[in-house]
């Protein structure tokens, strides 16, 4: 394994894995706390429209994905706020439209020959230094945003009514949170792809929630779990020559089921009668 670590593409992949773990641990905590997994999934899948835009208009993929994802996220957020009781329908429509729009643009792109699988399922081993730098900048932006507005985001997450009574602009912070989800999706495109991004955003935070008493503790554990899942999955993908994103998610999923089993076992022992 030491020889592998000397290779630049492996070093880039490890750096991308750490950045993704940091982002997913923090943003994913807000996603789980706010029960926004479905919305996050909608944003992730709608982002495929940005892939189509990028190749159709010959612009950098990161630019196309970022622009389209941000716009789709803001529209989903605004419409779901207005139609709370039908938010799942609104998200489903935009989710489907984004993917269909991307597919049509890809079909209409003359001489198109790029690998779509890397956008759908990730390709962390092909992350370049420029892509890594872009990921770093986006990660810094998300961390800055969540740090500056941490108290407000926590207030909106756990007691929206109380936040409104205190005079906080709940709508603005709700859209800010959705915007951070959009940025996180863009960062994760090269790591696990658009199809699997929702799993990386929710599995580790969900496990962490069961063992944490505070939001900060939940974030710390979620970041730690993501790093462990990412490193093991990356190692397996190199050793077995399989798709890295799928390997990472499979490892995370195993971690999730192990957590459920341990939790059930712990609860069973707690309710067992004690013999003197």
CA distances from 71 to 49, 58, 91, 238 (A): 11, 19, 13, 36
Entry field: residues in the chain: 276
pLDDT at 101 (0 to 100)? 92
Q: What's the whole-model pTM score? A: 0.84
Each domain of the chain, given as residue ranges in start order, spans 2-271
Does pLDDT of 163 surpass 80? no
Highest mean pLDDT among 36-50, 84-98, 134-148, 178-192: 36-50
Does pLDDT of 200 surpass 70? yes
CATH number of 2-271: 1.10.3470.10
Does pLDDT of 251 surpass 90? yes
Does pLDDT of 112 surpass 70? no
Does pLDDT of 181 surpass 70? yes
pLDDT at 168 (0 to 100)? 80
Q: What is the mean pLDDT of residues 4-29?
A: 86
pLDDT at 127 (0 to 100)? 84
Closest residue by Cα to residue 253 from 271, 275, 232: 232
- DSSP category for residue 109: S
Count CB atoms within 10 A of the CB of residue 38.
16
pLDDT at 226 (0 to 100)? 93
The terminus-to-terminus CA distance of the chain in angstroms comes to: 52
Q: What is the mean pLDDT of residues 72-77?
A: 89
pLDDT at 9 (0 to 100)? 82
pLDDT at 81 (0 to 100)? 77
What does the pLDDT look like over 22-64, one tens digit per residue? 888 889 998 888 888 888 888 888 888 998 898 889 888 888 8
Q: How far apart are CA 238 and CA 216, in angstroms?
A: 33
CA distances from 227 to 20, 100, 120, 201, 248 (A): 8, 33, 21, 13, 10
């Amino acid at each position: 394994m030491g020889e592998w670590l000397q290779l630049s593409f492996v070093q880039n992949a490890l750096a991308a894995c750490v950045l993704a773990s940091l982002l997913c641990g923090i943003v994913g905590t807000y996603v789980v706390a706010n029960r926004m997994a479905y919305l996050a999934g909608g944003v992730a899948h709608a982002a495929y429209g940005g892939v189509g835009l990028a190749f159709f208009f010959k612009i950098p993929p990161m630019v196309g994905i970022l622009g389209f994802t941000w716009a789709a996220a803001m529209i989903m957020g605004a419409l779901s706020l207005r139609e709370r009781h039908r938010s799942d329908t609104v998200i489903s429509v935009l989710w489907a439209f984004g993917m269909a729009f991307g597919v049509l643009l890809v079909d209409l792109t003359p001489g198109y020959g790029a690998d779509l699988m890397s956008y759908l399922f990730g390709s962390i081993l092909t992350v370049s230094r420029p892509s890594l730098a872009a990921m770093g900048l986006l990660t810094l932006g998300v961390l800055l945003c969540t740090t500056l507005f941490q108290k407000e985001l926590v207030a909106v997450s756990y007691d929206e009514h109380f936040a409104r009574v205190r005079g906080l602009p709940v709508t603005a912070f709700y859209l800010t949170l959705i915007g951070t989800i959009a940025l996180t999706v863009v960062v994760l495109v090269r790591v696990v792809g658009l199809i699997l991004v929702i799993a990386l955003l929710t599995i580790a935070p969900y496990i962490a929630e069961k063992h944490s008493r505070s939001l900060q503790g939940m974030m710390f554990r979620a970041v730690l779990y993501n790093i462990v899942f990412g490193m093991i999955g990356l190692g397996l993908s190199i050793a077995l020559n399989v798709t890295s994103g799928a390997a990472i998610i499979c490892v995370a999923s195993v971690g999730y089921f192990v957590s459920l089993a341990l939790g059930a076992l712990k609860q069973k022992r707690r309710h067992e009668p004690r013999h003197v």
